[in-house]
Amino acid sequence: MVRICKKCGFQNQDDYDYCAKCGTPLVEGLKQKQVYVYHAKQQSEINRKAIILSYIVTIFLSWSGFVVSLFAKNSALATFTFFGFFMPFYLVQSKHPTIKRHGIIQMFISLVGVALSFYVMLR
Ligand SMILES: [Zn+2]
C-alpha cells in the first residue's frame, strides 16, 4: 500500500506520515511540516564542479567547430557546434532556478560559438 498525497499526488511509502515531495501530512491530525528549511539548504548544495564541467563541455562543443574552421578550409565541422546546445537545453529544463540560469548563460555561449563557426565556414 502506498500513501498518496492529497495535495500533489505523490506516492509515498505506507510508513510515511508526511509527503516526501511537498511535506503535506498524510495522516489526519498532523500539522504541516516545515519543509522550507530543507529546500533552502538544498539550494546552496548545488554541485559546483558539475556546473563548471557543464560550462567546459558547452564551450568545447560549441566553439571547437569555430576553432577547427579557422585552420581547416572548407570544413563542414561547424555543424559539429550544434552539439553545444545539448547541455544548455538539458540545464534549462531544470526546475532549479540557479541551474536554469546557468543553462540560459550557456545557451548564449553556444549561440555565439555556432554563429562564429558558420561565419568562418561560409565566408
Ligand atoms: Zn505531496
Q: How far is the CA of 98 from the centre of ligand 1 (A)?
A: 23
Distance of CA 66 from the midpoint of ligand 1 (Å): 48
Rounded to the nearest whole angstrom, what is the distance from the C-alpha of residue 93 to the centroid of ligand 1? 22
DSSP the chain: -EEE-TTT--EEETT-SB-TTT--BSSTTPPPP--HHHHHHHHHT--HHHHHHHHHHHHHHHHHHHHHHHHSTT--GGGGGGGGGHHHHHHHT-SSHHHHHHHHHHHHHHHHHHHHHHHHHH-
Q: What is the pLDDT of residues 34-59, one digit of tens each?
A: 555 555 555 555 678 888 999 999 99
Q: Quick one: pLDDT at residue 66?
A: 79
Q: Which tens digits make up the pLDDT trace of 86-123?
A: 888 888 898 888 889 999 999 999 999 888 887 877 77
Q: Are residues 105 and 79 in the same domain?
A: yes
Query: How many structural domains compose the chain?
Result: 2
Domain extent, residue 31, equals 1-44
Whether residue 32 is found in the same domain as residue 75: no
Residues 55 and 100 in one domain: yes
Q: Are residues 50 and 80 in the same domain?
A: yes
CA of 104 to the centre of ligand 1 (A): 30
What separation in Å is there between the alpha carbon of 94 and the centre of ligand 1? 20
